[in-house]
DNA sequence: TTTATCTGATCCAATATTGAGCCATTGATA
DNA sequence: TATCAATGGCTCAATATTGGATCAGATAAA
């Protein structure tokens, strides 16, 4: 049995960390416990942990403990918490990345039935007479395109965006930006997206969606 | 056995909540009961419950009790739950949309200090000798690029992706795909991204990042 | 030998837990 | 209506845990 040195212990610790051992709440056991578990003195364990600290695997807090710097599952809720402060401008920027891609995916992957659902949402939105109804079916149109993108992660990101868009700052903005003229513009732009999807043309679908989102951004943010 | 601290208890509580334990009335037992059940002081249990309150899992009412905030199941927490099942393939697809954009934003928006931080992460990753250290600074390289993209929403989406990448299916995959040769390829690809950032060249930064992600995808998913 | 490292021990400072008590609100009961 | 038990909100002093730091000796390798 080779003598245990601090650097060996450090790599052993890394192994246990990357095996997901302490990922639960991101806290690793106290130095004193680790030392006795590995059968070394606390000083040695301290040096070992220092290696992890040096390469940023871990941060230490007096009186609290030693914590993994890698984010842990429990912090997902914190992330979505912070997301609630997302500015409309930032989100529109990302929508312009994701939605054209979603449209492109949909053009290649969607089933006929799914495309029918998209068309249906578009139809109702066009025929709607009041702002809340239009708002709802407009959102549904976009949602159904994501729904047939065949990428679960993309769909969930869009769900996040939908939720965020239902919050206070957006509501005001949408109310301000609504007008009959704009609604008809949105409808014809949606039509172009829908046509491209029905033609199974990813490239055009992507472009049409991007063009539409540029319009929305202009209206929403007033640029 | 790790000493029970408040945050541990919080995660234990979350586990019991998500296992449907107290779903019936949407009410969880009184602090005093929980404290004695977990064998901690009420103050500690109060702190634990406060964690749940902070991330919105629970609401407290003086004199009435503590209740689950279940009436909003279609919201964020549900999204988070579904996201945990994201497949690596789906996520890689989205990374290839977002990260080139992040690199492009970074090329135009990053401060000199931020770019220095990116370079630093790159340097340490290149010099690292073992897989966990490389892994960590590789992730940090990407993270720091997002950090200077100046888009809060984009940053938070990346945080979500980081968390998901720390879960089980990814671990196995990364372990399988790691090799000295691949590491050096990653390093030279990172170098090209970094160079483009330092040249303040959004277009090249985006392309270099996309090329890198294609490599990663090939290695990870074996295509 | 010299050098580096580990050991075992002790003290310190920051933080957390404990145990106890008191208050305000609530809802049920007399 | 008045009372009362249950519950969360809050404070406080004592104790325990934990990382930070240092030192003298033991051990092993060069």
Q: Could you tell me the pLDDT band of residue A1, with boundaries at 50, 70 and 90?
A: very low
> Which residues lie below 8 Å from residue A150, measured CB to CB, with a gap of 6+?
A105, A109
Which pLDDT does position A79 carry in this prediction? 78
Among A17, A41, A74, the domain-final residue is: A74
* Cβ pair A42, A34 in contact under 8 A: no
Same domain, B94 and B202: yes
For A48-97, the three-class secondary structure string (H helix, E strand, C coil) is HHHHHHHCCCEEEECCCEEEECCCCHHHHHHHHHHHCCCCHHHHHHHHHH
Instruction: Kindly report the CATH number assigned to the domain that includes residue B96.
Output: 1.20.120.530
Same domain, A92 and A199: yes
* Cβ pair B52, B10 in contact under 8 A: yes
Contact yes or no for A152 and B3 at CB 8 A: no
Count of residues making up chain A: 223
Parent domain of A93: 84-221
Closest CA to B85 of A21, A155, A77: A155
Q: What is the pLDDT of residues B11-68, one digit of tens each?
A: 888 888 877 777 667 789 999 999 999 999 999 999 999 988 887 788 899 989 999 8
Distances (CA, A) of A177 to A89, A106, B9, B24, B73: 15, 28, 47, 44, 30
Domain count across chain B: 2
Tokens for A179, please give them. 């007008």
Given a cut of 70, is residue B71 above it in pLDDT? no
Closest CA to A158 of B2, B157, B70, B17: B157
Beta bridge partners of A65: A61
Q: What is the pLDDT of residues B107-137, one digit of tens each?
A: 999 999 999 999 999 998 998 878 888 888 9
Among A53, A74, A95, the domain-final residue is: A74
* Cβ pair B193, B208 in contact under 8 A: yes
> Is residue B57 less than 8 Å (CB to CB) from chain A?
yes
Report the alpha-carbon distance of residue B152 to residue A91 in Å, rounded.
9
Same domain, B185 and B87: yes
Helix or strand run (H / E) with residue B12: helix B6-18
Q: What is the pLDDT of residues A33-72, one digit of tens each?
A: 999 998 899 999 999 999 899 888 899 999 899 998 887 7
Closest CA to A49 of A63, A28, A70, A18: A28
> Which residues lie below 8 Å from residue B220, measured CB to CB, with a gap of 6+?
B88, B92, B173, B174, B177
How many beta-carbon pairs below 8 A join chains A and B?
143
Which pLDDT does position B72 carry in this prediction? 52
Same domain, A68 and A157: no
Q: What is the pLDDT of residues B137-191, one digit of tens each?
A: 999 999 999 999 999 999 999 999 998 888 877 877 777 777 888 899 999 999 9
How many Å from the CA of B68 to C1' of D15? 34
**Helix pair A88-109, A180-198: axis angle to 10 deg:** 30
How many Å from the CA of B43 to C1' of D13? 14
- Average pLDDT value over all residues in chain A: 88
What is the CB neighbour count within 10 angstroms for residue B3? 10
Q: Could you tell me the pLDDT band of residue A2, with boundaries at 50, 70 and 90?
A: very low
Same domain, A209 and A125: yes
**Range ranked top by mean pLDDT from A42-46, A130-134, A168-172, B66-70:** A42-46
> Is residue A59 less than 8 Å (CB to CB) from chain B?
no
- Tell me what the mean pLDDT of segment A95-100 comes to: 97
Question: What residue in B sits closest to A65 (Cα-Cα)?
Answer: B5
Say yes or no: Cβ of B46 under 7 A from any atom of strand D.
yes
- Tell me what the mean pLDDT of segment A114-135 comes to: 91
Closest CA to B166 of A150, A75, A29, A67: A75
* Cβ pair B110, B148 in contact under 8 A: yes
Tell whether A1 is covered by a domain: no
Tell whether A174 is covered by a domain: yes
CA of A20 vs chain B CAs: smallest distance (Å): 8
Give A78's contacts in chain B (Cβ within 8 Å): 55
Contact yes or no for A151 and B93 at CB 8 A: yes
Question: What residue in B sits closest to A100 (Cα-Cα)?
Answer: B97
Tell whether B121 is covered by a domain: yes
Same domain, B61 and B82: no
Chain B interface, best mutation among A59, A74, A76, by max B CB count within 10 A: A76
Which pLDDT does position B24 carry in this prediction? 67
> Is residue B90 less than 8 Å (CB to CB) from chain A?
yes
């Amino acid at each position: 049995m080779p003598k245990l040195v601090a650097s060996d212990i450090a790599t052993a610790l890394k192994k246990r960390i990357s095996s997901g051992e302490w990922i639960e709440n991101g806290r690793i056991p106290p130095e004193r416990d680790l030392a006795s578990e590995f059968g070394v003195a606390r000083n040695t364990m301290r040096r070992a942990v220092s290696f992890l600290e040096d390469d940023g695997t871990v941060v230490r807090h007096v009186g609290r403990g030693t914590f993994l710097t890698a984010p842990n599952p429990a912090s997902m809720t914190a992330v979505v918490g912070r997301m609630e402060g997302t500015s409309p401008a930032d989100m529109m920027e990302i929508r312009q990345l994701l939605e054209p891609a979603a449209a492109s995916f949909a053009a290649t992957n969607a089933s006929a039935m799914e495309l029918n659902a998209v068309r249906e949402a578009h139809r109702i939105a066009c025929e709607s007479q009041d702002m809340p109804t239009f708002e709802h079916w407009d959102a549904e149109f976009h949602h159904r395109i994501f729904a047939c993108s065949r990428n679960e992660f993309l769909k969930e990101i869009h769900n996040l965006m939908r939720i965020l868009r239902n919050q206070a700052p957006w509501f005001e903005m949408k109310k301000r930006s609504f007008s009959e003229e704009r609604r008809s513009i949105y409808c014809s732009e949606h039509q172009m997206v829908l046509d491209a999807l029905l033609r199974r043309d990813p490239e055009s679908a992507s472009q049409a969606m991007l063009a539409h989102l540029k319009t929305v951004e202009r209206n929403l943010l007033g640029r």
